[in-house]
Amino acid sequence: MSVRCEHALRLRGLIDGGGWQQAEEELQGLRQRYPENAALCSIEGIYWARRGDWPRALCRFQRALVWNRDDANTVFNLGVTWCQLGAPLRGRLLMDYADQMMAAQMPAGQSLPAALTWRLPRPSLPQPERFPAVAGRAATRRVPGLVR
């Protein structure tokens, strides 16, 4: 297991367990060691989302996508964040787009290890028939709120 994967697993345990202070200290140290690491930035977004600081989470997920725009989990988490910030259409587009990205990246019947697929819980949203344009637009590469 790589050192970065070990850090990610440790941070996941701290964040899932509510060890906020220790997680924040470790994030600060890792941010200094790996200043432009997309995975670390995404984990920091999850940290802020779990703390309920959605604007900060949004910033971190968008920054992570600047460095790795093909991370389906970060796109999904960005969608959840937009939903929490009052933009459910944008959020649904991003979550649907992330699901399509994941399906295209992984061969049928195969999945990533659980440690690498850390997603925020999907929020409950209105049914798609309430906004039919979402299904058509989700298939495009141009998605609002996604840094490209």
Domain membership flag for residue 144: no
Q: In this structure, are residues 105 and 72 in contact, taking their beta carbons and an 8 Å threshold?
A: yes
Domain membership flag for residue 117: yes
| pLDDT per residue rounded down to tens, the chain (148 residues) | 455 677 778 888 888 888 888 888 888 888 888 888 888 889 999 999 999 999 999 999 999 999 988 889 899 999 999 999 999 999 999 999 998 888 887 665 555 544 455 777 778 765 555 555 554 555 455 555 555 4
Residues 91, 125: Cα–Cα separation, whole Å: 9
Domain membership flag for residue 82: yes
Residue 45 belongs to domain with CATH number:
1.25.40.10
Domains of the chain: total:
1
Domain membership flag for residue 39: yes
DSSP letter assigned to residue 144? T
The residue range of the domain holding 111 is 3-138
pTM of the model: 0.74
Q: Is the dihedral of CA 81, 122, 92, 148 positive or negative?
A: positive
DSSP letter assigned to residue 148? -
Quick one: residue 112, left, alpha or beta (phi over 0 = left, psi -120 to 50 = alpha)? beta
